[in-house]
Structure 1
Amino acid sequence: MTRLFHVSDLHFGRQDQAAIDWFAATVHDERPAAVICTGDLTQRARSAEFEAAARYLESLPVPVTVEPGNHDLPYFNPYERFVRPYRRYGRLERMIERPLDVANVVIVPLKTTARFQWRHNWSWGVVGRRSLARTLALLESADDDHVKLVACHHPLVDRDGGHSSGKTIRGREALEALAAAGAHAVLSGHVHTPFDLEVPVAGGDTIRKIGAGTLSERVREAPPSFNEIRVGEGGALDVVHRWMESPGA
């Protein structure tokens, strides 16, 4: 069995230090095959926040891949946001949108952030056509016997009965294309609440939509948490939501 830890929305600058320490200790103790972080490393994309995130992620003793989140684009500096939005990532850059191939699993990135949108809320997601084409090419080049996971920040479609995904532009189109290319599940963050749902796609098939919670102070429906993803023989995929404390405690 291959075990992966899926974490999201660390929000350094507003991190829950107890939760951050708990997750790091769990990674050190249990040594999953990899850590997948689906965005919002920082609260305001400040250099000091990125530096703290870099120190933290570099301390984890397993491979790490990171997706950018909307909070990771410069908030107060329009020039940097439009011209060089990723300058502050620094040494984290090597982890950003990093494809991973571990045991019987391949993890491929899908960028859903945008430095500009023709709508009022720039925190919402966008799937660019070039970004989607890159992800599809990575999926199609992966071994057919691998479980294929796609990592992005924004949920591609709304989660029934819960927070909106933020109306991700071309999200449904992307989900259908990813399923057709052989993706088994799409991992995301952004809504700060864990979920695991089957989404119908064309042809009568389904694709898993798996969301991680947050390790920040900005909790919503649940306490700080992360997902443990277990991939067994024959590609069986099991997701366990792991809480720092039991809900309602």
Structure 2
Amino acid sequence: MKFIQFSDIHFGAEDPAAIEAATDFAQTENADATIICGDLTQRGKQSEFLAARNWLDTLPGPKLTVAGNHDTPLLHLWHRARKPFSRYASYFEAFEGPLIVKGVRFCGLNTSRGWQFRRNWAEGAVRLRDLDEILDGKTYDAATVIACHHPFLSPPGSPLNTRTRRGRRASKRLMSSGVQLLLTGHVHTPSVTFREGEHGSGYLSVSAGTLSRRLREAPPSFNVIELDDDTISINIHSFRNGQYRLDGRSVWPR
């Protein structure tokens, strides 16, 4: 099976050319699913959510989304503290999952918070009980893929060093769970990292790039991921000279 991984669209600060080309790609790629790893909006405005939902409705096939730290109302402090994701849910509740496609179970995990007792509220946090619910519900006749916004551990060489609360403990649980794929965003740079546990067990942490003008050290990009009986293929497509080109490919055993 094949699916597309988008993240960090940031409607309100989007790159129109990159989004248009990505939409054309998705409409012709014949993927089995689309997974979006958060930050659909820039400031959590109604107009931005509407634009994001209208865009999502143009993409074919089943879809799963998770919230990002930008998907809370930036300027409405009461809502950010008390109901940070109510606006997000009103537009995307139908895409929360879990989503089962061709024997693969996609589950969303919310690592974003509207407000926290820490200097940088944009950093992520994992509720271990939420992760445990996903892992406890894992069935043996379906592969499980987890999607969230923040990497559990900062990707090596990333221009943004992430500090996800309880991320190290979450990573250790995932290493021994049998789950092979964690899909993330937030860092705006595509990356593939194998997180190895004991006895060779582990999982692939796969970050997607951005489709926005909020670039860091990489052009707009997304991932196309293929699963077959024996391998996992990660294909990074980057936006260069007005079109997406295959910019990197790695193949891993299942």
Instruction: Provide TM-score, normalisation by structure 2.
Output: 0.90
Deviation at 1:207, TM superposition (A): 1.3
Contact 1:111 1:153 in 2 (8 A): yes
Is 1:104 aligned with 2:103? yes
| Alignment correspondent of 2:239 | 244
Quote the Cα distance in structure 2 between the aligned partners of 1:116 and 1:158. 21
Quote the Cα distance in structure 2 between the aligned partners of 1:78 and 1:47. 15
Is 1:91 aligned with 2:87? no
| Alignment correspondent of 2:55 | 56
| Alignment correspondent of 2:174 | 178
Judge which range, 63-72 or 200-209, deviates more.
Answer: 200-209
Judge which range, 103-112 or 187-196, deviates more.
Answer: 103-112
Contact 1:37 1:67 in 2 (8 A): yes
| Alignment correspondent of 1:233 | 229
SS of the counterpart of 1:108? strand
Instruction: State the one-letter code of the partner of 1:62.
Output: G
Is 1:154 aligned with 2:153? no
Quote the Cα distance in structure 1 between the aligned partners of 2:43 and 2:178. 36
Residues 115-136 of structure 1 show CA distances to partners (whole Å, capped at 9, x for unaligned) of: 2222100000100133223222
Quote the Cα distance in structure 1 between the aligned partners of 2:116 and 2:175. 26
Contact 1:155 1:211 in 2 (8 A): yes
Deviation at 1:165, TM superposition (A): 4.6
SS of the counterpart of 1:9? coil
Residues 176-195 of structure 1 show CA distances to partners (whole Å, capped at 9, x for unaligned) of: 21232221011100000000
| Alignment correspondent of 2:35 | 36
SS of the counterpart of 2:64? strand
Quote the Cα distance in structure 2 between the aligned partners of 1:145 and 1:237. 18
| Alignment correspondent of 2:251 | none
Quote the Cα distance in structure 1 between the aligned partners of 2:143 and 2:161. 25
Q: Please, what is the CA RMSD of the aligned residues?
A: 1.5
Quote the Cα distance in structure 1 between the aligned partners of 2:221 and 2:72. 24
Is 1:137 aligned with 2:136? yes
| Alignment correspondent of 1:195 | 191
Contact 1:155 1:165 in 2 (8 A): no
Contact 2:38 2:66 in 1 (8 A): yes
Larger strand share, 1 or 2: 2
Instruction: State the one-letter code of the partner of 2:109.
Output: L
Instruction: State the one-letter code of the partner of 1:218.
Output: R
Quote the Cα distance in structure 2 between the aligned partners of 1:204 and 1:59. 41
| Alignment correspondent of 1:82 | 81
Deviation at 1:164, TM superposition (A): 4.0
- The change in CA–CA distance for 1:14 and 1:116 in structure 2 (over 3 A counts) is same
Contact 2:11 2:40 in 1 (8 A): yes
SS of the counterpart of 1:106? strand
* Structure 2 residues not aligned, in runs of 5+: 248-254
How many residues end up aligned between the 2 structures?
241
Quote the Cα distance in structure 2 between the aligned partners of 1:181 and 1:205. 9
| Alignment correspondent of 1:210 | 206
Is 1:117 aligned with 2:150? no
| Alignment correspondent of 2:14 | 15
| Alignment correspondent of 2:250 | none
Residues 45-90 of structure 1 show CA distances to partners (whole Å, capped at 9, x for unaligned) of: 0010000001110121211100100000111111111222222222
Instruction: State the one-letter code of the partner of 1:84.
Output: K
SS of the counterpart of 2:20? helix
Quote the Cα distance in structure 2 between the aligned partners of 1:207 and 1:67. 20
* Structure 1 residues not aligned, in runs of 5+: none
Contact 2:159 2:216 in 1 (8 A): no
Contact 1:229 1:239 in 2 (8 A): yes
